[in-house]
Amino acid sequence: MMGPPLQLDGQEWLRDPYPIYHRLRQEDPVHWSPQLGHWLLTRYRDVVLVLRDRRFSAANRPPQRRWGRPTTMVNADPPEHARLRRVAAAPFNHAAVESLRPLIQEAVDSLLDGLGGEADLVEGLARPLPLLVIGRIMGLSERSRAALMGELMAFSPGAGRRRASLMAQGLPATPDDSYWRSVLAEHRAAPGDDLVCQLIAAHGQGLLDEEELVDTLVLLYVAGMETTIGLIANSVLALLRHPDQWALLCRQPQLARQAVQECLRYDPPVHAVSRRALAEVEVWGRTIRRGDKLLCLLAAANRDPEAFPEPDRLDITRAEGDHLAFGTGVHSCLGALLARAEGEVAIATLARRFPDLRLAGEPRIESNLIVRRVTSLPVSL
């Protein structure tokens, strides 16, 4: 049982949650937190068990502002889940993602062309890249994309000014439902073969209703944006803090694929996913009752020594084990291949063009129990 009470949102945790994850895993791997009203799971095998077991539901989670909405795949259980996922899946499969690589490379090259001396890699690369890519997949017009850029800038310096200027041009400053409805109207007027049109077609065939249509667009946007920014920024930070690994990548940029996987294991942007028990289930000797809520700590499972020897070591040549940064089971991330491709191109290009890349100030990290990511990364190129 645990010693002094855990401060899961204290300064210590904010700075570095991994020692706390280790302590939980060693002392009480299926831990009831009265503070959070959830069981906390930190062992790799328990997290995998829960995420792959239908007795644990992803449904009826309270809708969260930046993540799930009530009628999307992320909050649905089988068989509903399969219907909502299938209609959106095509642009995220292997062939579709591979066909986007030239676009991703072009976008990374032109973003890096614009940087020099000192720069913030979040503003300069990690933030604009996923927007360009999802904009292409969704077939967003320049005008619609500009409006999303306004939203993305909402938390950055000068955001107020930029938002005011967008609104002065008659562009919506936040992508609320009316924004997505206007995107739908644009695509209905001029059909193409992009994701928005595929979803409109699915709606036409009765595969999803109007509300699900809007919610799926919102989901694909929010689920892919902050997370991919985090993938790129957390990975670059991890590599720069391990100069031997950065030097190795610079010598062998073809390691980018493994390096992204290792960085996703080492410091993933999504730290936890929640589930609710539909039946009484025994996990590691603890009785989870029907209705109980659980947090599967993916980032803790990724540091479980039973799954990954020397888990606190960043090793971009590591081959063993499958990390859980994208979850597992039916809800495993739909955008995983896309996010990985963006990360690979970004870090391989950085390593080729800027081998002397180094930190030029303190990075800023924002964190809650669910998402942990670098939000400002000052570097010298």
Binding site for ligand HEM (CB under 6 A): 58, 73-74, 85, 134, 219-220, 223-224, 227-228, 231, 268-270, 273, 325-327, 331, 333-335, 338-339
- 159 and 171 Cβ atoms separated by less than 8 Å: no
Whose Cβ is closer to ligand HEM: residue 233's or residue 379's?
233
To ligand HEM, the closest distance from the beta carbon of 328 in angstroms equals 8
Among residues 225, 231, 230, which one has the least CA distance to residue 138?
225
* 357-366: long-range pairs with CB below 8 Å, 24+: 357/236, 357/240, 357/246, 357/381, 358/240, 359/237, 359/240, 359/241, 360/118, 363/233, 363/237, 365/14
To ligand HEM, the closest distance from the beta carbon of 83 in angstroms equals 11
In this chain, which residue has its C-beta nearest to ligand HEM?
335
To ligand HEM, the closest distance from the beta carbon of 37 in angstroms equals 18
To ligand HEM, the closest distance from the beta carbon of 227 in angstroms equals 3
Whose Cβ is closer to ligand HEM: residue 28's or residue 212's?
212
As a whole number of angstroms, the distance between CA 144 and CA 139 comes to 10
- 346 and 239 Cβ atoms separated by less than 8 Å: no
Whose Cβ is closer to ligand HEM: residue 163's or residue 293's?
293
In the block, residue with structure tokens 């239908």: 54
Peptide bond into 70 cis (omega under 30): no
Whose Cβ is closer to ligand HEM: residue 224's or residue 311's?
224
In the block, residue with structure tokens 């100069």: 243
Tell me the sheet residues that pair with 281.
288
To ligand HEM, the closest distance from the beta carbon of 374 in angstroms equals 13
Whose Cβ is closer to ligand HEM: residue 58's or residue 307's?
58
Whose Cβ is closer to ligand HEM: residue 166's or residue 374's?
374
Among residues 276, 231, 238, which one has the least CA distance to residue 127?
231
To ligand HEM, the closest distance from the beta carbon of 84 in angstroms equals 8
